[in-house]
Copies of this chain bind each other. A is one copy, B any other.
Amino acid sequence: MTTTGNPQFVKPEERIAVFDNDGTLWTEQPMYFQVAFILDRLKALAPQHPEWKEDSLIGAVLKGDLQPVVAGGMEAAAKLVMVTHAGMTTDEFSTIVEDWLVSARHPKFDRPYTDLIFQPMLELLAYLRANDFKTFIVSGGGVEFMRVWAEKVYGIPPEQVIGSSIVTKFEMVAGAPVLTRLAQMNFIDDHAGKPVGINSHIGRKPIAAFGNSDGDLQMLQWTAAGTGAKFGLLVHHTDSVREYAYEVSAFGKLDVALVEAKAKGWTVVDMKQDWNQIYPFESAK
């Protein structure tokens, strides 16, 4: 598809590749890393919010009980996002994320979360770019959470990161323009939201899509449909020693997408079998 004259040839400007983030470019266990960020933020902010102790959801979380979050689904998650992600400017939020990344450590590996990126996916990103692809992240995660580090870690610039978002408002504060983050959901970039986000931000169909969970199914369907060169891939988490092995999980459930991948001939990576190196800090097998 990079050879002029080949029936499968795709013009460079149409070489768009989209990547889910959590579980596809980096690890998503024992919880999405942005959830770990939320929990740390709740603890950090709790002294300023004595009323949180009485709150059935936040009070439980502060005591280390995540059951009400899991039981409360999207509504509970949204509440925790709002109290930790809203009420500051976009610049202030970026600084909070940067500071957290410096100090936070992953519980299994005792390393910064940004170390837990997948070496084979870094090589894939580089390979695609060397062939004139534009690489995008299309994630259910918060777009302003990811943009802080995605360029440094993956080489993906902010304008190529698509994600979930809350509403921002333009204001003049002491004569200077700021964008204030409001406690209101703007867009959820997951499941059927992924093709919507792709269309909104990119405006054309990708020709290659990479995911790992049912939340990526519609993105793969949207990318793989139609004629011409197309590529779909799922990362299957099968290595309980070097990473994690799971299909049923609150984070990154893989069920119907795996069935459809097999039916449609999308590539399925078996991490344990197929990857001789998971993380950049490891040596290859």
Contact in complex: A192, B204 (CB < 8 Å): no
Q: Which of A126-177 contact B (CB under 8 A)?
A: 134, 143-144, 147, 151, 157-161, 165, 168-170, 172, 176-177
Contact in complex: A179, B203 (CB < 8 Å): no
| Chain B residue contacts of A158, Cβ below 8 A | 202-204
User: A residues within 8 Å of B by Cβ?
Assistant: 13, 16, 90, 134, 143-144, 147, 151, 157-161, 165, 168-170, 172, 176-177, 179, 186, 192-193, 195-196, 199-204, 218, 221-222, 225
Pick the 8 closest A-B CB pairs, nearest first. Answer: A158-B203, A170-B192, A147-B203, A159-B202, A170-B195, A177-B221, A177-B222, A177-B225
Minimum distance in angstroms from A100 CB to a CB of chain B: 18
| Chain B residue contacts of A221, Cβ below 8 A | 172, 177
| Given known A-B contacts A170-B218, A204-B158, A199 and B179 have beta carbons under 8 A apart | yes
Contact in complex: A199, B90 (CB < 8 Å): yes
**Complex CA–CA separation, A169 to B192 (angstroms):** 8
Kindly identify which residue among B151, B172, B179 contacts A13, using a CB–CB cutoff of 8 Å: B151
Beyond A158-B203, A168-B196, list 17 extra A-B contacts (CB 8 Å): A16-B159, A134-B159, A143-B200, A144-B203, A158-B202, A159-B160, A159-B201, A159-B202, A159-B203, A169-B192, A170-B195, A170-B196, A170-B218, A170-B222, A176-B225, A177-B218, A177-B225
Contact in complex: A165, B200 (CB < 8 Å): yes
Closest-by-CB residue of B relative to A200 is B165
**Complex CA–CA separation, A270 to B253 (angstroms):** 59
Contact in complex: A196, B179 (CB < 8 Å): yes
| Chain B residue contacts of A203, Cβ below 8 A | 143-144, 147, 158-159, 161
**Complex CA–CA separation, A222 to B168 (angstroms):** 14
Kindly identify which residue among B90, B179, B196, B201 contacts A169, using a CB–CB cutoff of 8 Å: B196
10 contacts between A and B (CB under 8 A): A16-B159, A144-B203, A158-B202, A158-B204, A159-B160, A161-B203, A168-B199, A170-B195, A177-B225, A201-B201
**Complex CA–CA separation, A159 to B205 (angstroms):** 11
**Complex CA–CA separation, A187 to B176 (angstroms):** 24
Minimum distance in angstroms from A207 CB to a CB of chain B: 14
| Chain B residue contacts of A218, Cβ below 8 A | 170, 177
**Complex CA–CA separation, A158 to B204 (angstroms):** 7
| Chain B residue contacts of A192, Cβ below 8 A | 169-170
Closest-by-CB residue of B relative to A162 is B201
| Chain B residue contacts of A176, Cβ below 8 A | 225
Contact in complex: A13, B157 (CB < 8 Å): yes
**Complex CA–CA separation, A197 to B185 (angstroms):** 15
**Complex CA–CA separation, A134 to B160 (angstroms):** 12
